[in-house]
Amino acid sequence: MSAYILGVDVGTTSVKAVLLKTGSKAVVAGHALPTSSDIIDDSGIKAKEQHTGRIIDTLNRCISLLPADKLKHVSSIGLSGQMHGVLFWKAKGGCDWSKRDFFTAGDTSQLITWQDGRCSSDFLSSLPAPDSHLSVATGFGCATIFWYMKHRPEFLEDFTVAGTIQDYVVSMLCGLVLNISTSAQLTFAMPADFKPSNSPQPASSISYFPYFKDSYLAVAASLNGGNVLGTFVEMLTAWMKELGAELSDSCVYEKMIRSALNQETTDLRVSPTILGERHNPLCLGQVNNISPTNLSLGHLTRAMCRGVLDNITSMMPAERLQQAGVSRIVGTGSAIARNQVLRQEVEKAFPQPVVYGQNADSAVGVAMVLCDLL
């Protein structure tokens, strides 16, 4: 019987699981489910949190959809997940294995995600200077821990361990933590002899994160991607409800994309940085060049999709990619997978050919990495 690697990606909006055949590296099965775990923030501190129990329930359901006969022959498990963010748990009470084949969340906090905005610029500047080439930003797990130490130290007294959501899953599975995760919106590997500077460059839109074999990845990690379109959908559905008409988010999203596909160009300009950027947190979104002829849903959706690409290419220009010898662009993620307009704008933004990954791309990637390492 063939052996398989189980690849799991615990993402911001969904959980994905795949089975990879070890010899051929062929994906024999895969599923993805939305977590629907966001917690509404009424605290006024710009918190962005998710319900840990719902994420774990979704993980269990996603894995249970894979073929049971093949799951019996899984030799290794690889996990990827949200690069930043943190949750807290008790070392011996973090989960419950009483149901044998899967665990439920136990004594844990909510997941404070990478989108969390409670750490202001003033607070971040008060922290000890990092001995690193990387800067600290709101949403980073360590920054969040410092925030709790200052503002709610009693909260931390209930827990003994902290880590990312994937750290937590690995810890519950085997009692140990090994974090091999890289999450970015635009990235490429640097030459083997590259070494970053010794001090942080907070104004730089590109960061350099450790990669395999002592190398580094150049990463332009934008805070504004598919979440921008999600926010726009939520705004439209809220407006419609106030006006006495109701449509589901998925129905509105489909109509948006259909309208934009019929609008191939637009002179409307949207800068969709509604969350700012780590290197420029005060640069918020703008809409420019509004006229009576470009106020349709198609114009606005097309302009937003182009704006997402304009923003990321301003952080890492196409010329920089060409200089680095990048020969093609691999587009991944749920926003690209479900949004043909966004794919069209990706292909316009880069001179290199663009290929698209599978829906469960991160889960497949971590399984393939593990297959190579074994």
pLDDT in tens, the chain (374 residues): 578 889 999 988 889 999 988 878 888 899 999 999 999 888 888 899 999 999 999 998 999 899 988 888 888 888 888 888 999 988 766 666 656 566 677 788 999 999 999 999 899 989 987 777 788 889 999 999 999 999 999 999 989 889 999 888 887 776 433 222 222 357 777 787 888 877 777 778 888 887 777 788 888 888 888 889 999 999 999 999 999 998 999 899 999 999 999 999 999 999 999 988 888 888 899 999 999 999 999 999 999 999 999 999 999 888 888 888 887 888 877 788 889 999 999 999 988 888 876 544 677 777 777 677 66
Classify domain 4-183+186-198+360-373 at the CATH superfamily level.
Answer: ATPase, nucleotide binding domain (3.30.420.40)
Q: Which CATH class is domain 226-356?
A: alpha beta
Q: Which two tokens stand for residue 368?
A: 């393939």
Q: Under a CB-based contact definition with an 8 Å cutoff, are residues 276 and 284 in contact?
A: yes
Closest residue by Cα to residue 71 from 1, 9, 6: 6
Closest residue by Cα to residue 259 from 251, 247, 267: 251
Q: Under a CB-based contact definition with an 8 Å cutoff, are residues 127 and 140 in contact?
A: no
Q: Under a CB-based contact definition with an 8 Å cutoff, are residues 10 and 82 in contact?
A: yes
Looking at the DSSP bridge assignments, the partners of residue 79 are 8
Residue 192, helix vs strand vs coil: coil
Closest residue by Cα to residue 59 from 124, 132, 9: 9
Q: What is the pTM of this model?
A: 0.65
Which residues make up the CATH 3.30.420.40 domain(s) of the chain?
Answer: 4-183+186-198+360-373, 226-356
Q: Which two tokens stand for residue 122?
A: 């003033």
